[in-house]
Amino acid sequence: MEALGWMIFFITFLPIAVLIIFIPYLTRKTESFGVSIPEEVYQLRELAGLRKKYAYVTGLFALVISIVLLLIGARKQELLFPGMITLFLIGSFLIYYVFHLHMKKMKAEKKWDQSRPQKLVIDSKFRSQKLAVSSAWFLVPFMISLATLFMSMTFYKQIPEKMPLKYDFSGHVTSWGHKSYRTVLMLPAIQFYLTILFTYLNSTIVKAKQQINPADPETSIKQNLIFRWRWSFFNFVTGTVIVLLFFLIQLSFIVTINPIVLIIVPIVAVCGILLAAIILSFTTGQGGSRVKISKGQENRSINREDDRHWKLGIFYFNPDDPAVWMEKRFGIGWTLNFARPLSWLILFMILVPAIIIPLFLSS
């Protein structure tokens, strides 16, 4: 079953690597390696060369990580896999930062932001449009969580005194837990937490700060609407699938389910989620930049320059901006305004329950 371990690693690692390798091609054309640029310079040979070079270097690094793992990872796969993925994430960030510094230097030398008027465009009717799936959709994972809780309490006596908590890649149990109401309630509690989390994330898609390209506002607004709705639907599907997986695990404590099924089904589910994320990223792009829409009337205006608020090109820190959520500069999705105290409270409310629930409810 060692081959299953490799499959799990590559199913997890390859989508992450692909997304990171091609991030420069997925971000808005008004941003390059975390630096704002005029859209018309995006296709310059020098910038195109930088994107290709970044993709080659990051891709080579991902290949080296994979080869090293294949050479030394025949044993203790479960320990090596998370470590190697973490190493890739750290290394790819350092590669990005080198290109970020180069991009900042190039922008200063070319003086791209000094020859064009800077504008900030806001659509007052933007929030009145359908930006995301309805929060009512999340009643589906909520009902699944409720069913898990009801099933757990109804069939509590059928649950064995020793509960398998963890399997290795061969389907052997590596960790056991003793039955108690706390251990039995752990998975339903996680389900409810995840349902609340995904519902909140859906609301942030609606509330996130507008980012409209002043060079072509009409097209930019249409693209952004599609971008938000697609990722909102993806968020709903992902949350529902994960909650269903926890239902399957809880069910396995009551009825006999082949351990291999408990390994394969999550692999297939995770593979599907990651594949969908890749397809969505490449077909939509950040802010909907890859969505094909007929162009509106264009001008030579550029976004208001705010590079100084983007630390390292990826962390937004602006105490004068009331917005809490905004689009990432390098990547797909949204990030927080870390100058706002509410942002840190949000992180606290997300991370602390994720740590406390398993600790408190485990035996």
Range picked from 115-129, 149-163, 227-241 for highest mean pLDDT: 227-241
pLDDT band of 284, cuts 50, 70, 90: very high
Is the pLDDT at 293 greater than 60, yes or no?
yes
Q: How confident is the model at residue 183, as a pLDDT?
A: 83
Please name the residue that has the structure tokens 């005029």: 38
Is the pLDDT at 123 greater than 60, yes or no?
no
Percent of the chain with pLDDT over 70: 84
For residues 253-280, give the mean pLDDT. Answer: 86
The Cα–Cα gap between 277 and 283 comes to: 10
| DSSP of 274-305 | HHHHHHHHHHH-GGGTTS--------S-EEPP
The answer to whether the CB of 99 falls within 8 A of the CB of 33 is: yes
The answer to whether the CB of 87 falls within 8 A of the CB of 72 is: no
- What is the average pLDDT value for the chain, to the nearest integer? 84
Q: What is the pLDDT of residues 206-245, one digit of tens each?
A: 888 888 777 677 888 888 899 999 999 999 999 999 999 9
Is the pLDDT at 1 greater than 50, yes or no?
no
Helical (H) or strand (E) element with 65: helix 45-72
The answer to whether the CB of 195 falls within 8 A of the CB of 209 is: no
Residues, the chain, total? 363
Q: What is the pLDDT of residues 36-89, one digit of tens each?
A: 888 888 889 999 999 999 999 999 999 998 888 777 654 555 567 777 888 999
Is the pLDDT at 260 greater than 90, yes or no?
no
Strand residues in the chain grouped as ranges (E): 31-32, 35-36, 118-119, 162-167, 173-178, 302-303, 310-311, 315-316, 325-327, 334-336
